[in-house]
């Protein structure tokens, strides 16, 4: 039973609403005596923070994170680590209209139907604000991985498509990714995306995105068959992120166009090392990492909150329209990038611990 | 910690290897006093059974299922229900070569690396044979759903693409689906797929498939945010099926080509009923069913076992080749259809019970 | 995997150290739309609060509880409920000596050994201060029970023995229990316990206690065999409370002196109602409540922190002595009473929800 | 959610009814590549087997155990290990009377009330026959422990009281324990217990027992605070055994008669090793093993099935009497000894794996 908890041996539980007093997260199962660098965590949060460029929402969230327990004299104690961020810039007047109307594409209608009572302000619990806490938990799990024998694991992620504009090279300039407002992996695409986003913002519309994650220096053996496969756990993790509509590994949906002669990755011994000659599998065989790079992609739908009028209904079941006037991301997929990295890191840390527990 | 168990309130645990003495499954958490029709379960298994047409493997598996506990005088007792199928047609000589070589695209290498000792015969634990037990558990959960207020829920699933040949209509002839060897939803595609598969078999190759699942008469309110969302749980379930490389809901990856004006589904009151004017969301908002049809697709890679020679390595780390001579499916995606239905039914039954537990 | 989480469908996770900035608790799985009376919860906390009489520690803990999420407009939303208490009266100088020495009977040595790094101030994570959060979670689960068909369930608990002085009657004056500093169920014992405790405090010593819990108006059917039996879950819950060394149900350890003719409780129909003629079982048969009162007892060891010198060792493995000068309870068992009630209420609420989920 | 599953990282799930076709157990999470000696497991089962002496039931159960999966070429594969025992000597005519009447002290009434449909033959699912499977799972976990650095852990258990007759020495002759029909730890008590049991059998009655468990060569650090404490997990485990009414650790309930000067165990350095000068704690401090012997006791009520007539009611709610004519243990506590050892071993193996997973 997980509800608001993710993970197995390593677990995090998030709480808090977008316009409540605070949001927070408890990480449990974290080993003791590991140095915790709060700046590292804060920097990860800053990557997700809105208001950083004109291509994301102008809403200001300080996202200043605090640790309330589980760390003593700079190191983890093995006790639960409690993170908190107090909400500051709430401007709840922006959201007045949604008290009585359901925003299409949002969870307003289903929360109202399921819970009868819900905090509708800014999406409340269903707001993407919750993902700030995933970033904190993910940063912590990266610190954990860096303290294991698998310290070389490296997780890169970039936006590879916005609207219909795709990145046209498989080569990534990984240093560039965090230095442009789109998490783009190459320079050429940047002006194209700038134009597309500004055009859509002008129209009162928004755009979707496809994000790719690449994990390099992966060890073999991570993942637990049959119902804790690495790809299965990553899918659960990524699909729980707001607005994600699909995920694919390796060759993904395109593998249907291949045949059995080419789709499985041949193996070769080269200088006593095991190599694969292709990576259609995305680095996972039978749910267990093969030592190749883990590669997967997920799609984030266009921001549902747009300025233009949309047809909808009210809580008292009348036909009406709604225009969401708040400060919204023109392409919410961009800010999903650090969240996807965080969830990936968390899944890996958890499965690494599980794998380790068997080598007794 | 799930390992070989799937589910929360309702759970199933599978055990057994492809060429072991038997395979089995324990379903726990099943309510008492529900009539259990073993024929219904056996019929579901027969849909998955190999050797039914020339388009699936010619291996014979009787798949005759028995219940060893949890049912008394024809009705469930609330105690764990234990299913067993004894393996008969094992012909292990077919598999001799894989004792020492890794089949590309299979889990041989990762199981060998992770477990040191594994049953390599016919894939052992990583064989798709395990999915027979998911079908049994899924059939049981369908029986459960039929005993709730949600008895009208209907799960249809069809193959919509094999290789590069797609079904060209969104309309399904649902009666046809179980009456053709491809689980095709319309007649026109059948001869096209026949030819494609026979061509590939002749070449010693195989094909991939895309499968769509549609759940109609869905109630609203099923799914638990934030980490037990309906789409997140379904993704975990489907991605745990052998050879699945991706999943998408509603408009799926194509939603990236839409914009925020069209991607969110408008709502309307019509004769006092709530309607959505499109279904890009695939019937799920914020992780909770909206009452629309649940729609998702997943891709199954081409069968990795093919007659043609493939480059690989041996356990003693030498370069070699392998040709898998066994009786294999030319398109393993076809037989995934009943497995996908089973996993969908199980996820729904489990989340229905969880939702019910809160209405106290 | 539970670590710092208790419960199944309904769960709570506690965090925080005795002398950290705050302690807190997340309750997850709580149904929506239930009125939450914070005063009710605060009053329960006040019963556990130290410094209330000369028979408990003089340490002042305001224990003023706040809710940070999950409640909107006075009612639960179905989202996680986050409780927090900021620590005020920490006076950490009281605890200086324990930085380098292990207090016998405390968790100092095992935490040091297991975690290498731990917050030793006031016991840190292993302090009974953590139980304040159990009381909050328990109060919430009482509110939940009151909103079900089982609203008449009543949990009473009293101290029935301090040191070697036992209450000599089975009849309880339940109104008296919360009106005396010992949670004594009858008046006669009060002056006896007063004297015993003051005597021991003077000697720099402390006393143990036995506590009984009685749950009346219990419905039948609560508890899930085989590994979620009502008595098994209650034992896990109660034995997790600091300083508890044993638990027994119904006739308990004394049942060994009975024989099979008398130990099982005869049943009788009386005016169409089912009666039991005795309650040796403590209200539980086969792990399921029988409708009789649930009756169990648990023992709390004497407070390990005493003024008198005790032999111990230091972290650098030298023989030494320690006298714990802080403000300690002369009989910590007294303040366990509200904690035991809270854990009982939580177990019942959780198992009630599980039982309800099957009646689909 | 555990229902019929016990454990966390290492788990077992039991299924089957006393008079069904078979009973079984799946052990999941067991590490791979460990030699599995089926004789070792069978020998453990033989210790629990009925019909071995005139002091246990004369019912014959062959209890011949088989492994159906998870072991390949004599070693574990990391896949689920499936145990099965086919039921042979069922003689269901013995149990005819209980179809319509509730046996006092048994789970008949609560199962009937909760499940509406249950297998009443021989207790069905609530029968102690289920514990055979715990013994198998426990034996497997002993094999696991023997393959870790903690291989010296030794679990002894003996009956220390039957009826009112107690063993009068704390010294145990551990070799004797398995060589007498009572699991008595010293010779002197044997004729006394023989007489007591034969006397009670003659009267158509039965007796209760107290059992002690001692775990020696325990490492420090096993157990996870706050809600997975070693004592809490052991209590949950032991209290789930049929007919157990209480459990206590170390000084147990008698600690209430001690005071704070003596109840906590002083520590001392002796030849550079850490010693405790007493063991009132039972080897556990703050839920974590301290390196001392784990010591606990539990009480098993007298067999509820006796020849003498007892007052009860029928399913159609009439007053009646019942005499249980089957072949029953005159003191069911005796056969609980191997079950208690098995549950102890399982808890230790699981917590050892959890502890190990953190040392990453």
DSSP readout, D13-75?
EEEE-TTSSEEEEEEESPPSS-B--HHHHHHHHHHH-SSSSTTS---------EEEESEETTE
- The reply to whether residue C205 touches residue D274, judged by beta carbons under 8 angstroms, is no
CB-CB contact of A346 with A138 (8 Å): yes
Looking at beta carbons, which residues of chain C come within 8 Å of A86?
none
pLDDT digits (tens, 9 = 90+) for C173-206: 999 999 999 999 999 999 999 999 999 988 889 9
- The reply to whether residue B117 touches residue D33, judged by beta carbons under 8 angstroms, is yes
CA dist list (Å): C191 to B287, C52, C157? 60, 17, 20
Higher pLDDT, A261 or B42: B42
- Mean pLDDT, chain B, integer: 93
CA distance, residue B343 to nearest chain C CA (Å) = 20
Instruction: With CA atoms as reference, report the closest residue to A72 among C16, C110, D228, C316.
Output: C16
Does pLDDT of D60 surpass 80? no
Higher pLDDT, B261 or D286: D286
Looking at beta carbons, which residues of chain B come within 8 Å of C229?
none
Judged by a CB distance cut-off of 8 A, whether residue D8 touches chain B is yes
Q: Report residue D217's pLDDT band, with 50, 70 and 90 as the boundaries.
A: very high
Instruction: With CA atoms as reference, report the closest residue to B12 among B155, B110, B118, B144.
Output: B144
- The reply to whether residue C117 touches residue A73, judged by beta carbons under 8 angstroms, is yes
Q: What is the mean pLDDT of residues D114-129?
A: 93
Q: What is the mean pLDDT of residues D323-350?
A: 92
Instruction: With CA atoms as reference, report the closest residue to B72 among D123, D23, D124, C360.
Output: D124
Q: Specify the DSSP element, H or E, that contains A144.
A: helix A131-146
With contact defined as 3+ CB pairs under 8 Å, the chains touching B are: A, C, D
Tell me which of A229-233, B306-310, D342-346, D349-353 is least confident: B306-310
Looking at beta carbons, which residues of chain B come within 8 Å of A287?
107, 240
State the pLDDT at residue B55: 73
CB-nearest to B15 from D11, D80, D125 is D80
CA distance, residue D242 to nearest chain B CA (Å) = 16
Q: Report residue C93's pLDDT band, with 50, 70 and 90 as the boundaries.
A: low
Looking at beta carbons, which residues of chain A come within 8 Å of D354?
9, 357
Distance CA C175, CA C166 (A): 19
Higher pLDDT, B330 or A162: A162
CA distance, residue D298 to nearest chain A CA (Å) = 31
Q: Report residue D95's pLDDT band, with 50, 70 and 90 as the boundaries.
A: low
Judged by a CB distance cut-off of 8 A, whether residue D266 touches chain C is yes
Number of domains into which chain C is organized: 1
Higher pLDDT, A96 or C83: C83
Distance CA A68, CA A83 (A): 6
CA distance, residue A295 to nearest chain D CA (Å) = 25
- The reply to whether residue C358 touches residue B1, judged by beta carbons under 8 angstroms, is no
Does pLDDT of B283 surpass 90? yes
CA distance, residue B29 to nearest chain D CA (Å) = 7
Judged by a CB distance cut-off of 8 A, whether residue A162 touches chain D is no
pLDDT digits (tens, 9 = 90+) for B34-50: 999 999 999 999 998 87
CB-nearest to C9 from B225, B352, B357 is B357
Size of the A and D interface in Cβ pairs below 8 Å:
42
- Interacting residues of C189 by C-beta distance below 8 A, sequence separation 6+: C165, C166, C167, C168, C182
The count of C-alpha atoms lying within 13 angstroms of the C-alpha of D91, restricted to the half-sphere facing its C-beta, is 9
- The reply to whether residue B208 touches residue A256, judged by beta carbons under 8 angstroms, is yes
State the pLDDT at residue A176: 96
State the pLDDT at residue A61: 63
Q: What is the mean pLDDT of residues D168-197?
A: 95
Tell me which of A52-61, B269-278, C162-171, C203-212 is least confident: A52-61
- The reply to whether residue A247 touches residue B252, judged by beta carbons under 8 angstroms, is no
Q: What is the mean pLDDT of residues A248-261?
A: 96
Q: State which residues form the domain around B259.
A: 5-358
State the pLDDT at residue C34: 98
- The reply to whether residue D360 touches residue A78, judged by beta carbons under 8 angstroms, is no
- Mean pLDDT, chain A, integer: 93
- Interacting residues of A3 by C-beta distance below 8 A, sequence separation 6+: B224, B225, B226, B227, B228, C11, C28, C29, C80
CB-nearest to B206 from A204, A260, A286 is A260
Looking at beta carbons, which residues of chain B come within 8 Å of C356?
356-357, 360
Judged by a CB distance cut-off of 8 A, whether residue D147 touches chain A is yes
State the pLDDT at residue A233: 98
Highest mean pLDDT, choosing among A331-345, C315-329, D81-95: A331-345
State the pLDDT at residue D93: 58
Structure-block tokens of residue A13: 């539980």
pLDDT digits (tens, 9 = 90+) for B299-349: 999 998 888 889 999 999 999 999 877 667 899 999 999 999 999 999 999
DSSP code per residue over B200-211: HHHTT--B-EEE
DSSP code per residue over B1-36: --TTEEESSSEEEEEE-TTSSEEEEEEESPPSS-B-
Q: What is the CATH number of the domain that holds C131?
A: 3.60.150.10
CB-CB contact of D256 with D250 (8 Å): no
State the pLDDT at residue A333: 96
Within its chain, how far is the Cα of D354 from the centroid?
22
Judged by a CB distance cut-off of 8 A, whether residue C105 touches chain D is yes
Does pLDDT of D236 surpass 80? yes
CB-CB contact of C213 with C155 (8 Å): yes
- The reply to whether residue A357 touches residue D353, judged by beta carbons under 8 angstroms, is yes
Instruction: With CA atoms as reference, report the closest residue to B298 among B160, B138, B139.
Output: B160
Does pLDDT of A50 surpass 80? no
Does pLDDT of C50 surpass 80? no
Tell me which of A113-127, A176-190, B226-240, D322-336 is least confident: D322-336
Instruction: With CA atoms as reference, report the closest residue to B59 among B69, B46, B70, B50.
Output: B50
Does pLDDT of D276 surpass 60? yes
CA distance, residue D353 to nearest chain B CA (Å) = 13
Give, as one character, the DSSP assignment of residue A6.
Answer: E
CA distance, residue A149 to nearest chain D CA (Å) = 8
C positions 42-81 inside 8 Å of D (CB) = none
- The reply to whether residue A285 touches residue B3, judged by beta carbons under 8 angstroms, is no
CB-nearest to A356 from D144, D225, D360 is D360
> Which residue of A162, A229, A234, A246 to mutate against B (max B Cβ within 10 Å)?
A246
- The reply to whether residue D353 touches residue A353, judged by beta carbons under 8 angstroms, is no
Q: What is the mean pLDDT of residues D230-253?
A: 98
Does pLDDT of D89 surpass 70? no
Distance CA A110, CA A124 (A): 13
Q: What is the mean pLDDT of residues B86-91?
A: 74
Distance CA A186, CA A180 (A): 10
Q: What dihedral angle (degrees, nearest 10) is formed by the CA atoms of D264, D269, D275, D277? A: -50
Judged by a CB distance cut-off of 8 A, whether residue D179 touches chain A is no
Judged by a CB distance cut-off of 8 A, whether residue D312 touches chain A is no
Does pLDDT of D233 surpass 70? yes
Which residue in C has a C-alpha nearest to residue A84's C-alpha?
C68
β-sheet bridge partners, residue B288: B285
Does pLDDT of A59 surpass 70? no
Does pLDDT of B285 surpass 90? yes
| % of chain B at pLDDT higher than 90 | 84
Q: Which residues of A82-96 are buried (b: 16+ CB within 10 A; e: fewer)?
A: bbbbbbeebeeebbe
Judged by a CB distance cut-off of 8 A, whether residue C89 touches chain A is no
Which residue in B has a C-alpha nearest to residue C357's C-alpha?
B357
Distance CA A306, CA A325 (A): 7
Judged by a CB distance cut-off of 8 A, whether residue A326 touches chain B is no
Looking at beta carbons, which residues of chain C come within 8 Å of D103?
264
CB-nearest to C360 from B1, B225, B356 is B356
pLDDT digits (tens, 9 = 90+) for C134-164: 999 999 999 999 999 999 999 999 999 999 9
| % of chain A at pLDDT higher than 90 | 84
B positions 199-228 inside 8 Å of C (CB) = 225
CA distance, residue A268 to nearest chain B CA (Å) = 6
Which residue in D has a C-alpha nearest to residue A79's C-alpha?
D225
Structure-block tokens of residue A223: 């993942």
Does pLDDT of B92 surpass 70? no
> Which residue of D34, D225, D352, D357 to mutate against A (max A Cβ within 10 Å)?
D357
Which residue in D has a C-alpha nearest to residue B66's C-alpha?
D21
């Amino acid at each position: 039973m997980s509800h608001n908890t993710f993970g197995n041996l390593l677990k995090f539980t998030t709480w808090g609403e977008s316009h409540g007093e605070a949001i927070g997260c408890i990480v449990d199962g974290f080993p003791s005596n590991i140095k915790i660098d709060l700046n590292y965590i804060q920097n990860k949060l800053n990557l997700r923070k809105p208001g950083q460029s004109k291509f994301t929402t102008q809403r200001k969230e300080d996202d200043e994170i605090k640790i309330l327990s589980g760390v003593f004299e700079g190191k983890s104690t093995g006790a639960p680590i409690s993170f908190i961020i107090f909400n500051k810039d709430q401007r709840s007047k922006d959201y007045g209209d949604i008290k009585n109307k359901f925003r299409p594409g949002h969870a307003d209608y289903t929360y109202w139907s399921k819970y009868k009572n819900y905090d509708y302000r800014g999406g409340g619990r269903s707001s993407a604000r919750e993902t700030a806490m995933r970033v904190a938990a993910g940063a912590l799990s990266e610190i954990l991985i860096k303290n294991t024998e698998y310290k070389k694991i490296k997780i890169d992620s970039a936006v590879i498509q916005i609207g219909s504009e795709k990145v046209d090279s498989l080569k990534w300039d990984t240093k560039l990714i965090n230095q442009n407002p789109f998490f783009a992996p190459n320079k050429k695409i940047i002006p194209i995306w700038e134009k597309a986003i500004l055009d859509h913002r002008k129209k009162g519309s928004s755009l979707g995105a496809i994000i790719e994650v690449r994990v390099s220096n992966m060890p073999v053996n991570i993942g637990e068959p049959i119902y804790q496969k690495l790809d299965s756990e990553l899918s659960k993790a990524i699909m729980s992120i707001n607005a994600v509509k699909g995920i694919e590994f390796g060759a993904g949906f395109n593998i249907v166009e291949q045949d059995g002669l080419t789709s499985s990755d041949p193996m070769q011994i080269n200088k006593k090392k095991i190599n694969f000659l292709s990576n259609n599998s995305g680095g996972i065989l039978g749910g267990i990492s093969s030592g190749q790079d883990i590669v997967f992609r997920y799609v984030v739908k266009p921001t549902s909150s747009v300025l233009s009028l949309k047809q909808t209904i009210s809580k008292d079941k009348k036909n009406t329209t709604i225009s969401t006037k708040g400060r919204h991301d023109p392409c919410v997929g961009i800010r999903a990038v650090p969240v996807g990295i965080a969830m990936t890191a968390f899944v890996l840390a958890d499965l690494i611990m599980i794998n380790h527990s068997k080598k007794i």
